[in-house]
Amino acid sequence: MNRCKQLEENFFVSGQVSRESLERAMAMGITRFINNRPDFEEDGQPTHEEIKGWASELGLEYHFVPVVPGALTAEVLEQFTGAVSIGEGGCSKGPVMASCRTGARSCALWALERASRGALPVDDIIAAAKAAGYDIAPMKASLEQLAGFPG
């Protein structure tokens, strides 16, 4: 797994996971895992079913919300938002980690989810992503639109 990168207090992203990296995530307090990587994107990557099995064995809540590069849709954002906001009163039940090949798609989904719910100011979302090593500045207009800014 690429290094787990923190975007918010209870939200992390990472690149491709293994059983061992999921164990390390649990040791960090992660309770929910969202797999954003579609099956068969690259030779040798574990399948959704393999990762789901690891998560189940470890007691991690698992969600599969695959995103094909360049094909992020409103439906995918809705599924991701549902996976993030599960819990009492729509609040996360604990720290969440989302993963794809490099973490970039998971970071973009997080940014869109946070903007669409008005959970963070757009500039804070962009700054958090940048601090984690992801440049989502080109998404600013889309994030502002989701956040309800005119434009």
DSSP 83-131: HHH-SGGG--SS-EEEE-SSSHHHHHHHHHHHHHTT-S-HHHHHHHHHH
What pLDDT was estimated at residue 87?
53
Q: Decide if pLDDT at 70 tops 50.
A: yes
How many Å apart are CA 75 and CA 32, to the nearest integer? 20
Place of tokens 């989302």: 98
Residue boundaries of the structural domains of the chain: 5-146
pLDDT of res. 63: 96
pLDDT at 2 over 60: no
Which residues contact residue 103 at a Cβ distance below 8 angstroms, ignoring those fewer than 6 apart?
2, 5, 13, 14, 15, 132, 134
Reported as a pLDDT band with limits 50, 70 and 90, residue 71 is: confident
Q: Report how far residue 58's alpha carbon sits from residue 124's, in angstroms, rounded to the nearest whole number.
A: 33
Q: Is the pLDDT of residue 88 over 50?
A: no
End-to-end Cα, the chain, rounded Å: 39
pLDDT at 1 over 60: no
Cβ contacts of residue 74 below 8 Å, gap of 6+?
none
**pLDDT score at 136:** 97
Considering the segment(s) 5-146 as one domain, its CATH architecture is Alpha-Beta Complex (3.90)
pLDDT digits (tens, 9 = 90+) for 90-134: 444 789 999 999 999 999 999 999 999 999 999 999 999 999 999
- pLDDT recorded at residue 106: 97
- pLDDT of 34 reads 97
Q: What pLDDT score does 90 carry?
A: 43
Q: How far is residue 134 from each of residues 22, 70, 130, 149, 150, measured CA to CA in Å?
A: 22, 16, 5, 23, 25
pLDDT at 149 over 90: no
